[in-house]
Amino acid sequence: MVEQNRQRGDEEGEKSNHAESVETGSVTWRDTFVSEEPTQESAGTADDGHGLGELEARRELRSRTKALEALTRANDLFVGLSAPVDESVRTLVTELPQWFQHPETIEVRMRVGNDLFETDGFQRTGDPLTAEARTRTGTAVSMTAVCTDQRPDTGEREWLPPERELVEALVSLVKEGIDRWEIDSLKSVSDGIAVLDSNLNYTYVNQQAAQLLGQDSEELRGECVWDVFPEAADTIAEEKIQTTLDTQSSTSFERYNAEKEQWVEARVHPSNDGVIIVFSEITDRKVVERELDHVLEATPVGIVLLNAEGDITRANTRAEELLGLSRHKMDGKEYDHPDWDIWDEAGNPIPRDDHPITRVFETGETITGFTHGITLPDGSERWLSSNVAPIKTEDGSTEQIIVALEDVTVTKRLEQLIETFHPVNEILNSATDEEETKQAICELLTDTREYQYVRISEHTPGTAPTESDLQEGTGAVAANESVPLPIQSQTEIAPAEVAVETGDVQVVTRNRTDSRFDRWRAYTLDQGFQGGAIVPLQHRGRVYDLLVLYTDRGEAFGSREQTLLTTLGKRIGQVLHSLETERILHADTVAELTFESTDPASFFVSASEQLGCTIEIRDTIPASDEMLVHYASVRDASLDAFSDIAESADWTTQVRQIRHTEDPPGGDVEIGLRRQSLAQTLVTEGAVVTTDTVTDGRAEVVCEVPLGTDIGSLVTRVQESFPETTLVSKREYTPAAKPDAHAVGRMLGDIFETELTDRQQQVLRAAMYGGYFHSPRRSTATEIADALSLTQSTFSYHLRNAQQTLFERLFDRLQR
């Protein structure tokens, strides 16, 4: 047995001699594990145990020999690192228990960075052997060895000193191996690499980073980044690095070196003990980006670029305007982020699966003309048309997505308004009762997204609007109960007066107002609306009522919408005029008024007095907002003399002789005047003129108004225009008492007023009094068209339609 022990000792001695040659870096493992003298512990045991000391010495020698074997194996695995790091660590952990005194009871765990390697069944016990270290790049390396066979009295295992030293030495060796591997890896990359610890001191800087930073890598090691570069403190660089430390997430920033005219991108990544900064020179890329920016900024549409993950990477100024966000707030934002409030024509949110960008990612095909609404951060709404196209790599995968945005709010709003107003026209076409018609119009207009409050306020022609005029009537309608209703708002009086005076739509919005309407604007905004409008409902220069609208649309009442509202106001005004005329024609009792006037402000009174003749005005037709075309018969004066007077007057524009007579001298004329007719004033006030004759400077005008009309106010308004005018008689009668021969005429008049458009009425009347239907014709289609500022083809088109409608409706009624 002694001989066997001696032989075993000789073998172990040979192994010990072999271990003397194992060196790694500056550490000689023989110096660590081979002592020239016995340890104090073993020496004491030999003295006291009479031979036990020798056994302890041999046990410790075996332990040191095994430790040297373990280090030799670790040296093979980690010096040079020919295999991947994780493979080497896994091999070491698997083999390590065999080099402990009782390998069957040893389990080992090793951690490298975030990666964990352990033997099967590892479970932490009392008194483990542990060691920790960090590489220069901050990678944590640790090892833990546990014994599953614990001492029954203490629950701990008695580790030999070489075993304790082994764990420390292995961690140091592995750390140095990984450290060299990491540094070699960093040296091989083309980017600059700088490693900072948790105190932001440099622990490693490769050559590329040193060149970009303009510093020596060895001089940087151990220095705090803000001490080396104080000018970078309190900048985006410090913000981004601190963000990475706090959140343990990667960030990036860019810096420009004006001296070198060089752009550098710094990508900051978290490490186990600080951050790793990867530097890349991006000067060439920035040049390309600037050129791209110039192109994008010159593009009239909004451009947004997204990466393969669907995050926004670039946007031009127009896109900022359209989306209501700065590029800084858009940068990195996902296209399907909940903050994007986009919706379809019905106002429903567009789901992610139907989003055009989602569809392009899925199909790789371009989508054009995708129209949708968007609610901007300030609460306003806008309509956009999007073209979405993929930018693909050589293998066909989508690398980027480009989105072109165009503002189609005006066009879309006009489409919606036209769709809104179309049903109004249907209501007007079938109108029979004034109050019911007004109520239906208000309900229809609020039953849309366009207007949240509508009413039609009554207006007495020829008077200034008052607060009582603007009270809510039966037609007032709100879109929902949450809308506060403007009631008796004095702030509306000023714009209502302007609307009546000018005949134009008056509006106020959050961003636009007439200085005269500041109180109205403040009131509108206080009520929660974005804009208000007052639309005169007029026909032939007479304002019947006022249409009042309020909306919560941020971009309401633009020029095109005002044009549509003006057209709508005239159409409603025409129907209100027709209903009033029909009421006169079918009234049980009407008042017939006879006026006499010698006022020279009337052209016909002045011309009749100068020529000593009789002038019968047969019809007056509006040709434009300012021009009225009159058809008159002149008796006892030559038409040449009449034309001379007309052409020298300030109020006339043109005279055309239609028919001449020699005995007595006279004939028929067509003359354009600028609202200088007593009959025209009465028509504007709602009267129906039946006779208008002027003889030797004295005019007699007979008209009819419904019984109950404020005749005193009517007379006052006539005399304001023509002071030398007197109401000479008033007669009440029942139209039904007229002979039956007038029935067809009344029927035709009813059809004429209610079934024909304004332009059809004007063309038909001009053709009649211009002698177009005479044989031979006294006027050609071209001559009458010129008087009405129409083309000949347009005149003929309206004339044919008017004739067809007039006789079709007449025969329909006669056959009932």
pLDDT of residue 605: 93
- Pairing mode of beta strands 129-134, 367-375: unpaired
* pLDDT tier, 5 (very low <50, low <70, confident <90, very high otherwise): very low
Residues 25 and 121 placed together within one structural domain of the fold = yes
Q: For residue 93, is it within any domain?
A: yes
* pLDDT tier, 151 (very low <50, low <70, confident <90, very high otherwise): low
Residues 357 and 321 placed together within one structural domain of the fold = yes
Residues 237 and 270 placed together within one structural domain of the fold = yes
**Alpha-carbon dihedral sign for residues 787, 788, 793, 796:** negative
At which of 382, 407, 432 does a domain end? 407
Alpha-helical runs (H) found in 586-620: 603-611
Give dist(CA 616, CA 698) in Å, integer: 12
Residues 611 and 636 placed together within one structural domain of the fold = yes
pLDDT of residue 668: 93
Q: Which residue has the higher pLDDT, 280 or 508?
A: 508
| CATH number of the domain where residue 796 is located | 1.10.10.10
Residues 230 and 212 placed together within one structural domain of the fold = yes
Whole-Å CA distances, 339 to 303, 323, 616: 19, 12, 73
* pLDDT tier, 177 (very low <50, low <70, confident <90, very high otherwise): confident
Whole-Å CA distances, 88 to 67, 114, 140, 173, 417: 18, 16, 16, 12, 75
Give dist(CA 246, CA 242) in Å, integer: 6
Residues 421 and 525 placed together within one structural domain of the fold = yes
pLDDT of residue 472: 62
Q: Which residue has the higher pLDDT, 30 or 525?
A: 525
Q: Which residue has the higher pLDDT, 540 or 331?
A: 331
Looking at residues 114-129, what average pLDDT do you find? 86
Give dist(CA 452, CA 445) in Å, integer: 8
**Using an 8 Å Cβ cutoff, are 247 and 314 in contact?**
no
Whole-Å CA distances, 184 to 181, 193, 204, 221, 359: 5, 12, 12, 17, 45
Highest-confidence segment of 143-152, 394-403, 574-583, 667-676? 394-403
Residues 732 and 746 placed together within one structural domain of the fold = no
Q: Which residues pair with 173 in a beta bridge?
A: none
Does residue 149 register a pLDDT over 70? yes
Give dist(CA 303, CA 320) in Å, integer: 9
What element of type H or E holds 633? strand 628-635
What pLDDT, in 10s, does the model give residues 465-502? 777 767 666 568 888 777 766 665 788 889 999 999 89
Residues 427 and 535 placed together within one structural domain of the fold = yes
What pLDDT, in 10s, does the model give residues 390-433? 988 888 888 899 999 999 887 887 787 777 788 888 888 888 88
| Strand ordering across the sheet containing 341-343 | 312-315, 302-307, 398-407, 381-392, 367-375, 341-343
Looking at residues 117-137, what average pLDDT do you find? 84
Q: For residue 802, is it within any domain?
A: yes
* pLDDT tier, 669 (very low <50, low <70, confident <90, very high otherwise): very high
Does residue 34 register a pLDDT over 90? no
Give dist(CA 194, CA 207) in Å, integer: 10
- Tokens found for residue 47: 């003295």
Does residue 612 register a pLDDT over 90? yes
- The mean of the pLDDT values for the chain is 81
Query: Which residue has tokens 């944590």?
Result: 140
- Tokens found for residue 9: 């000792």
What pLDDT, in 10s, does the model give residues 36-54? 444 444 444 444 444 556 7
pLDDT of residue 635: 94
Looking at residues 528-534, what average pLDDT do you find? 91
pLDDT of residue 368: 93
pLDDT of residue 387: 94
The answer to whether the peptide bond before residue 664 is cis (omega within 30 degrees of 0) is: yes
pLDDT of residue 20: 41
Residues 42 and 125 placed together within one structural domain of the fold = yes
Q: For residue 579, is it within any domain?
A: no
Domain that holds residue 774: 739-816
Q: For residue 288, is it within any domain?
A: no
Q: For residue 235, is it within any domain?
A: yes
- Packing angle, helices 639-648 and 603-611, rounded to 10: 130
Whole-Å CA distances, 665 to 641, 642, 646, 695: 11, 11, 17, 15
Residues 780 and 649 placed together within one structural domain of the fold = no
- Pairing mode of beta strands 262-271, 274-281: antiparallel
Q: Which residues pair with 381 in a beta bridge?
A: 375
- For residues 213-233, one letter each, b for 16 or more C-beta atoms within 10 angstroms of the residue's C-beta and e for the rest, the string is bebebeebeeeebeeebeeee
Alpha-carbon 438 to chain mean position: 35
| CATH number of the domain where residue 492 is located | 3.30.450.40
Whole-Å CA distances, 622 to 501, 627, 798: 18, 6, 15
Q: For residue 225, is it within any domain?
A: yes
| Strand ordering across the sheet containing 698-706 | 652-662, 665-673, 628-635, 614-622, 688-695, 698-706, 590-597, 725-733
Q: Which of 435, 750, 459, 425 is nearest to 570 (CA)?
A: 425
Residues 399 and 417 placed together within one structural domain of the fold = no
User: What is the model's pTM?
Assistant: 0.45
Residues 482 and 388 placed together within one structural domain of the fold = no
At which of 246, 281, 316 does a domain end? 281
Alpha-carbon 2 to chain mean position: 95
Does residue 316 register a pLDDT over 60? yes
Q: Which of 421, 455, 464 is nearest to 571 (CA)?
A: 421
Range from 36-50, 136-150, 748-762 carrying the lowest mean pLDDT: 36-50
At which of 571, 597, 630 does a domain end? 571
Q: For residue 576, is it within any domain?
A: no
Number of domains in the chain: 6
Highest-confidence segment of 112-116, 154-158, 674-678? 112-116
* pLDDT tier, 7 (very low <50, low <70, confident <90, very high otherwise): very low
- Pairing mode of beta strands 453-458, 398-407: unpaired
Distant-in-sequence, close-in-space partners of 256: CB < 8 Å, separation ≥ 6: 262, 263, 264
Range from 152-161, 271-280, 555-564 carrying the lowest mean pLDDT: 152-161
Q: For residue 669, is it within any domain?
A: yes
Long-range contact set of residues 509-512: C-beta below 8 Å, sequence gap at least 24: 509/556, 509/557, 510/554
| CATH number of the domain where residue 385 is located | 3.30.450.20
What pLDDT, in 10s, does the model give residues 328-375? 888 888 998 888 899 888 788 999 999 999 999 999 999 999 999 898
- Tokens found for residue 305: 């670029």
Q: Which of 339, 340, 317, 338 is nearest to 328 (CA)?
A: 317
Give dist(CA 568, CA 424) in Å, integer: 9
What pLDDT, in 10s, does the model give residues 229-282? 888 888 888 889 999 888 888 888 888 888 878 888 888 888 777 888 888 888
Does residue 657 register a pLDDT over 70? yes
With a pLDDT cut of 90, the percent of the chain lying above it is: 18
Query: Which residue has tokens 């909004």?
Result: 302
State residue 236 phi and psi, 5-degree precision: -60, -30
